[in-house]
């Protein structure tokens, strides 16, 4: 089976807490909880075959991180704050310099009821290499989210085929600024954009059927939210100056889309 190796950047700062003495050896290892989440995309399914995760620790040693359930994940089930546990295991203490996500061959996309394979060119096997430097301390618990951006990861080719060019970032509780809220009515078919500097799109959210949306992994700072009505019978809305503090959730409440006069 062909496997695709992808390096993932981990933003400095981990959630951590002490593990009790019953959790296993604490003098030479630290516990890492690894979770998968996703930004939304306008497809029916984006299925990614995750086979293995490898941490590079302590001077370049590759350590395979056992997964609770290797296999195919539909990324579109993991948006608006939903995540899934990939693994919860012990790693050797020391410096973590890289995380690699290993994909299998069963990557697919579903559009208008038709399933297409997602090809990953061999040139991408060494892509997304962003090194980190962080020390895992003995007996501590660290939680990391891998945020797989499905929308930015799909390449539509002119011949009707699709490619997978993964765009992934990692964040932790201490580097996880969040915005959540509700936008109604659903008939407005709203897409929410988190913007900075008036032109930089930092995140995109497609609300759930009940209108709930959530952005995760945001840096601390001020954001403008644009509520883009897909239904021409409604006006777009704007909410400026939403303040985000890492490690907390900013709730903007309920946003009501206004019909066109």
Domains along the chain with CATH numbers: 4-175 (no CATH), 177-256 (2.60.40.4130)
| pLDDT over 90, % of the chain | 54
Q: Are 101 and 9 in contact (CB under 8 A)?
A: no
The predicted model scores a pTM of 0.79
Reported as a single tens digit per residue, the pLDDT across 238-258 is: 999 999 999 899 999 999 999
Determine the pLDDT at residue 75: 94
In three-state secondary structure terms, 206 is coil
**Six-digit token string for 199:** 């032109």
- Kindly report the average pLDDT of the chain as a whole number: 85
For residue 81, what is the enclosing H or E element? none
Q: Which of 2-6, 51-55, 113-117, 146-150 has the lowest mean pLDDT?
A: 2-6
pLDDT of 210 > 80? The answer is: yes
Instruction: Give 97's pLDDT tier (boundaries 50, 70, 90).
Output: confident
Reported as a single tens digit per residue, the pLDDT across 4-50 is: 555 444 444 444 444 444 444 558 999 999 999 988 888 999 999 99
**Six-digit token string for 94:** 């020391």
- Cα–chain center distance at 11: 13
For residue 153, what is the enclosing H or E element? helix 150-153
Determine the pLDDT at residue 125: 47
pLDDT of 231 > 90? The answer is: yes
Rounded mean pLDDT, 59-77: 90
Rounded to whole angstroms, the Cα distance separating 68 from 201 reads 34
Determine the pLDDT at residue 102: 84
């Amino acid at each position: 089976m062909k496997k695709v190796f992808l390096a993932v950047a981990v933003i400095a700062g981990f959630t951590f807490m002490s593990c009790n003495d019953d959790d296993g050896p604490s003098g030479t290892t630290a516990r890492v909880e690894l979770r998968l989440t996703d930004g939304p995309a306008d497809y029916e399914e984006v299925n990614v075959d995750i086979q293995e995760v490898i941490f590079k620790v302590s001077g370049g040693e590759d350590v395979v991180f056992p997964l609770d359930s290797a296999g195919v994940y539909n990324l579109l089930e993991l948006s608006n704050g939903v995540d899934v546990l990939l693994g919860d295991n012990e790693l050797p203490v020391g410096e973590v310099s890289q995380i690699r996500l290993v994909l299998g061959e069963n990557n697919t996309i579903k559009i208008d009821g038709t399933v297409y394979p997602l090809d990953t060119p061999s040139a991408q096997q060494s892509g997304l290499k962003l090194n980190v430097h962080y020390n895992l301390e003995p007996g501590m618990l660290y939680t990391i989210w891998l945020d797989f951006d499905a929308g930015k990861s799909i390449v539509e080719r002119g011949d009707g085929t699709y490619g997978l060019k993964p765009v992934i970032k990692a964040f932790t509780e201490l580097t996880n600024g969040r915005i959540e809220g509700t936008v109604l009515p659903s008939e407005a078919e709203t897409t929410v954009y988190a913007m900075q500097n008036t032109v930089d799109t930092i995140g995109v959210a497609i609300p759930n059927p009940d209108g709930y949306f959530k952005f995760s992994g945001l840096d601390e700072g001020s954001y403008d939210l644009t509520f883009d009505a897909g239904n021409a019978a409604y006006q777009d809305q704007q909410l400026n100056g939403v303040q985000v503090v890492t490690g907390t959730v900013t709730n903007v409440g309920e946003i009501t889309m206004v019909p066109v006069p």
